[in-house]
Amino acid sequence: MSSQRHYDPYAVRAQFPILSRTVHGGVPLVYLDSAATTQKPDAVITAIDQFYRRSNSNVHRAAHALSAEATSIWEGARARVARFLGAQRTEEVVFTRGTTESINLVAASWGSMNVHAGDEILITGMEHHANIVPWQLLCERTGAVLKAVPVLEDGSLDISAIDALLTDRTRLFAMVHASNTTGTINDVGALCAMAAAKGVRTLVDGAQAVLHQPVDVQAIGCDFYVFSAHKLYGPTGLGVLWGRYDLLDAMPPYQGGGAMIQHVSLERSVYEAPPLRFEAGTPHIAGAAGLGAAIDWFDTLDLDAMAQHEDRLTHRATSIIYQVEGARVIGEAPRKIGVVSFVIEGVHGTDLGMLLDEQGVATRTGHHCTMPLLERFHVGSTCRVSFAAYSTNEDLDVFERALTKAVRMLR
Amino acid sequence: MTIAETIADLAEQLEQFSDWEDRYAHIIAMGKHLQQYPEEFRSDDFLVRGCQSRVWLHPSMDQGVVHFDADSEALIVKGLVAMLMKIYNHRTPDEILSVPSDFVSRLGLDAHLSQNRANGLSAMMKQLALYALAYKVSGASS
pLDDT digits (tens, 9 = 90+) for A213-260: 999 999 999 999 999 999 999 999 999 999 999 999 999 999 988 878
Q: What average pLDDT score do residues A178-199 get?
A: 98
Mutate to test the interface with B, among A344, A347, A350, A407 (most CBs of B within 10 A): A350
Identify the three-state secondary structure at position A163: helix
More confident site: B115 or B41: B41
Enumerate the residues of chain A whose CB falls inside 8 A of the CB of residue B76.
350-351, 354-355
CA–CA dist A347, B74 (Å, integer): 8
Residue A4 inside a domain? The answer is no
Same domain, A182 and A122: yes
CA–CA dist B134, A6 (Å, integer): 66
Q: Where are the domains of chain B?
A: 3-141
Residue A92 inside a domain? The answer is yes
HSE, side-chain direction, 13 A CA sphere, residue A400: 14
pLDDT of residue B26: 93
A267: confidence class by pLDDT, cuts 50, 70, 90 = confident
Same domain, A117 and A155: yes
Give the DSSP H or E segment for B57: strand B55-62
A 344-363 near B (Cβ less than 8 A): 348-351, 354-355, 357-358
Nearest CA in chain B to A406: B21
Domain finish residue from A299, A331, A349: A299
Same domain, A277 and A319: no
Residue A274 inside a domain? The answer is yes
Nearest CA in chain B to A25: B111
Same domain, A245 and A204: yes
Min Cα–Cα distance to chain A from B53, Å: 6
Q: What average pLDDT score do residues A114-124 get?
A: 98
**Structurally, how many domains does chain A consist of?**
2
For residue A1, pLDDT over 50 is answered with no
A84: confidence class by pLDDT, cuts 50, 70, 90 = very high
Q: What average pLDDT score do residues B47-55 get?
A: 83
Domain finish residue from A299, A325, A349: A299
Same domain, A286 and A139: yes
In DSSP terms, A32 is beta-bridged to none
CA–CA dist A36, A368 (Å, integer): 9
Contact in structure between A169 and A161 (CB atoms under 8 Å):
no
CATH number of the CATH domain containing A246: 3.40.640.10
**Quick check: B28 and A410 CB within 8 A?**
yes
pLDDT of residue A105: 98
Average pLDDT, chain A: 95
Same domain, A81 and A166: yes
For A393, the domain range is 9-38+302-410
More confident site: A350 or A336: A336
List of residues 6+ apart from A122 with CB closer than 8 A: A147, A148, A149, A165, A166, A170, A172, A173, A174, A195, A200
Min Cα–Cα distance to chain A from B119, Å: 13
Same domain, A144 and A270: yes
Residue A1 inside a domain? The answer is no
Same domain, A222 and A307: no
pLDDT tens string B7-39: 999 989 888 988 889 989 999 999 999 999 999
The catalytic residues of A are: 369
User: Top-level CATH class of B3-141?
Assistant: alpha beta
Domain finish residue from A299, A325, A342: A299
Within an 8 Å CB–CB cutoff, is residue B8 touching chain A?
no
Q: What percent of chain A has pLDDT over 90?
A: 91
Enumerate the residues of chain A whose CB falls inside 8 A of the CB of residue B31.
none
Min Cα–Cα distance to chain A from B77, Å: 7
Q: What percent of chain B has pLDDT over 70?
A: 93
CA–CA dist A45, A41 (Å, integer): 7
For residue B114, pLDDT over 90 is answered with no
Within an 8 Å CB–CB cutoff, is residue B123 touching chain A?
no
User: Out of A351, A358, A365, whose CB is closest to B75?
Assistant: A351
pLDDT tens string A100-109: 999 999 999 9
CATH number of the CATH domain containing A325: 3.90.1150.10
CA–CA dist A55, A59 (Å, integer): 11
**Quick check: B75 and A348 CB within 8 A?**
yes
Decide the pairing of beta strands A269-271 and A261-264: antiparallel
CA–CA dist A323, B19 (Å, integer): 27
Within an 8 Å CB–CB cutoff, is residue B42 touching chain A?
no
For residue A308, pLDDT over 50 is answered with yes
Enumerate the residues of chain B whose CB falls inside 8 A of the CB of residue A354.
24, 76, 114, 117
Within an 8 Å CB–CB cutoff, is residue A366 touching chain B?
yes
Q: What average pLDDT score do residues A317-330 get?
A: 98
For residue A295, pLDDT over 70 is answered with yes
Return the closest-CA partner of residue B73 out of A351, A403, A383, A356. Answer: A351
User: Out of A24, A365, A409, whose CB is closest to B24?
Assistant: A409
User: How high is the ipTM of this complex?
Assistant: 0.85
Same domain, A191 and A140: yes
Same domain, A200 and A310: no
Same domain, A16 and A137: no
Min Cα–Cα distance to chain B from A409, Å: 7
Same domain, A261 and A189: yes
Residue A15 inside a domain? The answer is yes
Contact in structure between A144 and A171 (CB atoms under 8 Å):
yes
